[in-house]
Amino acid sequence: MTAKLIDGTAIAAQVRKETAEAVATLKKERGIVPGLATVLVGENPASKAYVSSKQRACEELGMTTIGQKLPTSATQEEVEGMVKSLNADPKIHGILVQLPLPKHLDEEKILGAVSLAKDVDGFHPLNIGRLSMKGREPMFVPCTPAGCIELLVRSGVEISGKEAVVLGRSNIVGLPVSMLLLHRNATITICHSRTADLPGVCRRADILIAAVGRAEMVKADWVKPGAAVIDVGINQVWVEHPADKEYTCAVTGETFVAHRRDQSEKGGRRKMGDYCTECDTAWLKGQEPPDSCAGCEPIALFRKYKLVGDVDFDDVSQVAGHLTPVPGGVGPMTIAMLMHNTYRGALHTFE
Ligand code: GUN
């Protein structure tokens, strides 16, 4: 490996420590405790996990937190009403509406309902608009893009005058990180699904930001030797297990691959279904057992997975100058920057 590892966990710990100290000073000198409200609509398991880690981080840094939950069926009025009541709550300095929202909701209107002074996610149209203009200052900058910049800056990577290529044009990462790089005087190319000769465009980059959600897409021959590569992707890929075999769900007829619980497996294990050894019958997770298995004691079936980024780490680490791992790169920075923004929200409100 030639690349220098950018340790997101260590840099995030540093940002969190700095924020915790600032929070303690704010509390001591002005009696203000920063407060974050999270709004979670629906049951998306990844969103639930992200929201819990954001709340846990608040507690660890001495901030207060309120977790509001609404069912998937919540109406536009209910979600906007909840945001408005949080806007009016003086103990709350930051509001985070976890995305994605269920399809029937108007995301733009909901994000626009968040008070500008409490928009710690930086997704309010006015904050995004200001971020996209020269000489304007958004009140808050979106957390993942801000985390990418912080990783580059704290690792000593020069941005000004460099060629930066951003893979992906999402509202959450691709577009805002491009604007942040532009403000720091990089020359930007934004790539997307219609970009011709993607590897060739990426090879021009001194700084490559990968945020497309395609497991290990970026290979060594896409990367200019010595480039700084920031991997924003979090993709789940299945890992083969010697006991994996194909089962057919007795309820839906679908087939699935799984193995019986392996006690030696740590982490990265997902329950796929159940299996009744007496009746030699399997069924998918979420299905009721077939009537023939009423009273039987099924065993659980699992499959192993791991998280990988959009960058093929082993391959790219042979050519890149700097590289973030997944996990342990951008992920921890998103939460650290959210904590920093919430602290700033508390500071603004009372200025
Ligand atoms: N979903 C994925 N990333 C984010 C984020 O940074 N903020 C919010 N609110 N939702 C997300």
pLDDT, one tens digit per residue, over 1-23 is: 799 999 999 999 999 999 999 99
| Residue 42 alpha carbon to ligand 1 centre in Å | 14
* Chain Cα centroid distance, residue 303: 23
Ligand 1 neighbour 121 (Cβ under 6 A): yes
CB within 8 Å of 21: residues ≥ 6 apart: none
Best residue among 36, 44, 50 to mutate for probing ligand 1, ranked by most atoms within 8 Å of CB: 50
Ligand 1 neighbour 172 (Cβ under 6 A): yes
Q: How far apart are the C-alpha atoms of 294 and 76, rounded to whole Å?
A: 42
Instruction: Specify the ligand 1 atom closest to the Cα of 99.
Output: 10
Q: Could you tell me what percent of the chain has a pLDDT over 90?
A: 94
Q: What number is the average pLDDT over the span 179-192?
A: 98
**Residue whose CA lies nearest to ligand 1 atom number 8:** 98
Please report, for the chain, the start and end positions of each structural domain, with discontinuous segments joined by +. Answer: 15-120+133-141+332-350, 237-307
Q: Which two tokens stand for residue 16?
A: 């969190």
What is the per-residue pLDDT for 204?
Answer: 98
Give tens-digit pLDDT for 22-56.
999 999 999 999 999 999 999 998 999 999 999 99
Q: Please give the positions annotated as active site.
A: 54, 98, 121
Q: How far apart are the C-alpha atoms of 226 and 220, rounded to whole Å?
A: 11
Q: Please answer whether residues 45 and 51 qualify as being in contact, where contact means their C-beta atoms are separated by less than 8 angstroms.
A: no
| Residue 234 alpha carbon to ligand 1 centre in Å | 13
**Residue whose CA lies nearest to ligand 1 atom number 1:** 99
| Residue 333 alpha carbon to ligand 1 centre in Å | 12
Q: What number is the average pLDDT over the span 205-234?
A: 98
Q: Which two tokens stand for residue 308?
A: 């990988």
Instruction: Specify the ligand 1 atom closest to the Cα of 47.
Output: 1
Give tens-digit pLDDT for 163-179.
999 999 999 999 999 99
| Residue 98 alpha carbon to ligand 1 centre in Å | 5
Q: Are strands 269-276 and 299-308 parallel, antiparallel or unpaired?
A: antiparallel
Ligand 1 neighbour 98 (Cβ under 6 A): yes
Q: Which two tokens stand for residue 106?
A: 């108007």
CATH code at 15-120+133-141+332-350:
3.40.50.10860
> Is residue 160 over pLDDT 70?
yes
pTM for the predicted model, two decimal places: 0.93
Instruction: Specify the ligand 1 atom closest to the Cα of 97.
Output: 9
Ligand 1 neighbour 119 (Cβ under 6 A): no
The one-letter amino acid code at 326 reads: V
